[in-house]
Structure 1
């Protein structure tokens, strides 16, 4: 078909036509909203590098969860800031740890909300790395048991899903075994299967107080130059029992999201990370872009690339926009 017989603009001429043939959609249920939980009471501290994002004490979580549900955002993911840190990150798996208390609060006050938990040690270690140190290096195998204990403690507290983000080899299998052996075989694992050593994480590390105190995380997070390796990483997690595969970051790695979507039939999640969020917010505050339109276009691009689920700090804003304000 060639012009003038075929005119693509015929189906773009009004919003009803455009909506009728729209290939990619966004709904609030596809988004997960991150929450940062801190010690204390009646605390709601803004994160300076992430406008609109707050660190919340446990007693403030129910309000946030109810607002999410009212907007149609039915899932949150928890990140904890402990009162104390130590070399082994023992606060990560403590029965009365900050995330464990947060889970119980949300499941008690907002039971309809799906509570996902980040499983990692970086927020709990005094050195800021995602695993235990042996001889000054992050030791993979020593870390696995602690990650499994952490995931199990989250499940015991009532978490609906656990999401290991550490990038240690073998952690999905270790966590799956720990959950199954303790009768939590129905708790899914959303694995950070493909997590890059990205410069886009800076604002998150401010929010979660988890920047490494020395070195960096390139020995365990992926090299941004690699794409074939992403399929190897994801295949390992599928074989170990992951239920959902995640790519992090999202916008700078849309090609990787598409690769996973084409290769696997498991649900694919993407984490629209703090730096990607902060850049849009900063440019919008300067008046350089239309913040709402860029937000929507960005999230659509992640869905269009193949993500079934988007973890995003824009979840509530996007949900408001979808309902007309």
Structure 2
């Protein structure tokens, strides 16, 4: 055996400190965006049944959640407002004193340093559950753009630090960028859900946001899960239209897409670790089938390794506690 030649890869794995020295990818608390669902009413906090550990909050109870996020050192939240009243054009999305706008104001007043991101869509505000205006059963693209721009401007007026449009209408970034600039908000960045697939992983979110389509599905505007090159076309359009961040959604089954987008664009990439991914891990952990801490951190690490700069995740609070031994 003395003349046998082979590589000694194990030399760099001999101890915990040695492994840490050569570790290529890491997760830290600054990587996270934590999603929060806000509902109308008073003194309301209720766990979402399909998302254990995630709650609906009324604005007067929102402070306890924001305080915990800030105490943990998580730098950002994204707010999803769930209104009581819905109509065909989602008018509560762009009302200056609607639930999302009031939640933004509350968050910025309580924690001015917290980066508050506004989800910008119509689906949870329309009585039909789709992300745009409907005529004769067709989701109209161009007619929806003005409402999305109005929503973004209203959210910026309320104090949102970042606008995150998730509707997947063609030209939505261009329309929102134009609307923000015209209203004096040229400094507000856009975090585009530019690579958003028509995925089965969104089920728990639709319960949380009360946004399940009342007919049909979203396959005419969200992307086919079979397509890879389409992701690059979508991302390219949004970057050219003024997107400052690019979200890939979902994340876990689309790690190859995160890598493609990372390799082709030089803006920050956000992996959205979506509700279905979260719910599967929670269900398995509650049944004792997996080690929740190890599974979650490994899953999040895979998203960073694939090329994500930022992790939008319902696991964020737990992940930070585990990372910092809290």
Q: How high is the TM-score relative to the length of structure 1?
A: 0.98
SS at match of 2:27: coil
For the Cα contact (< 8 Å) 1:257–1:305, is it kept in 2? yes
Asked if the contact 1:62/1:110 (under 8 Å) is kept, the reply is: no
Partner of 2:122: 121
Map 1:173-252 → 2, pairs under 5 A: 173-252=174-253
Give how far 1:62 is off. Answer: 1.9
Q: Which runs of 4+ in 1 moved over 4 A?
A: 2-5
Q: What is the deviation of 1:111? A: 1.0
Q: CA deviation at 1:4?
A: 6.3
1:245 positional shift:
0.8
**Segment of structure 1 superposing worse, 73-82 or 7-16:** 7-16
Q: Structure 1's 3 and 116: CA in aligned 2 closer, same or farther, altered over 3 A?
A: farther
In the alignment, structure 1 residue 166 sits paired with structure 2 residue 167: yes
Which secondary structure does the structure 1 equivalent of 2:192 belong to? strand
- Counterpart CA distance in 2 for 1:3 and 1:128 is 66
| 1:129-185 deviation per Cα after TM superposition (whole angstroms, max 9, x unaligned) | 010101111000110000000000000000000000000000100000111111111
1:99 is matched with which residue? 100
Which blocks of at least 5 consecutive residues in structure 1 are unaligned? none
Answer yes or no: is the 8 Å Cα contact 1:191–1:242 preserved in 2.
yes
Q: Does 1:285 align with 2:280?
A: no
CA distance in 2, matches of 1:61, 1:175: 28
Cα RMSD (Å):
1.1
Question: How far, CA to CA, are the matches of 1:182 and 1:126 in structure 2?
Answer: 28
Residue by residue over 1:252-293, the C-alpha shift from the partner in whole angstroms, topping out at 9 and shown as x without a partner, is 000000000000111111100000000001001111110100
Following superposition, the deviation at residue 3 of structure 1 comes to: 7.2
- CA distance in 1 between partners of 2:323 and 2:5 (Å): 36
Shift of 1:5: 6.4
Q: In the comparison of the two structures, how many residue pairs are matched?
A: 324
CA distance in structure 1 between the aligned counterparts of 2:128 and 2:27, rounded to whole angstroms: 39
What SS does the aligned partner of 1:77 have? Answer: strand
The SS at the match of 1:201 is: helix
Shift in Å at residue 13 of structure 1? 1.8
Unaligned runs of 5+ in 2: none
1:150 aligned partner: 151
Q: CA deviation at 1:112?
A: 1.3
Q: How does 1:27-66 map to 2 (within 5 A)?
A: 27-66=28-67
- Report the secondary structure of 1:159's partner residue: coil
Distance 1:263 1:22 in 2: 24
Q: Secondary structure at the match of 2:170?
A: coil
CA spacing shift, 1:206–1:3, aligned 2, 3 Å: farther
Return the alpha-carbon distance in structure 1 between the equivalents of residues 204 and 6 of structure 2: 52
Specify the SS of the correspondent of 2:57. Answer: strand
Q: C-alpha offsets along residues 90-141 of structure 1, whole Å, 9 cap, x if unaligned?
A: 0000011000000000000111111001100000000000101011110001
Residues 196-215 of structure 1: CA distance to partner in whole angstroms, max 9, x if unpaired?
00000000000111000000
Deviations 1:237-256 (A, max 9, x none): 01100000110000000000
Identify the range of structure 1 (3-12 vs 124-133) with the bigger mean alpha-carbon deviation: 3-12
d(CA) in 2 for partners of 1:60, 1:109: 12
Residue 3 and residue 187 in structure 1: after superposition, are their counterparts in 2 closer, same or farther (change >3 A)?
farther
When normalised by structure 2's length, the TM-score is 0.98
* 1:6 CA drift (Å): 3.9
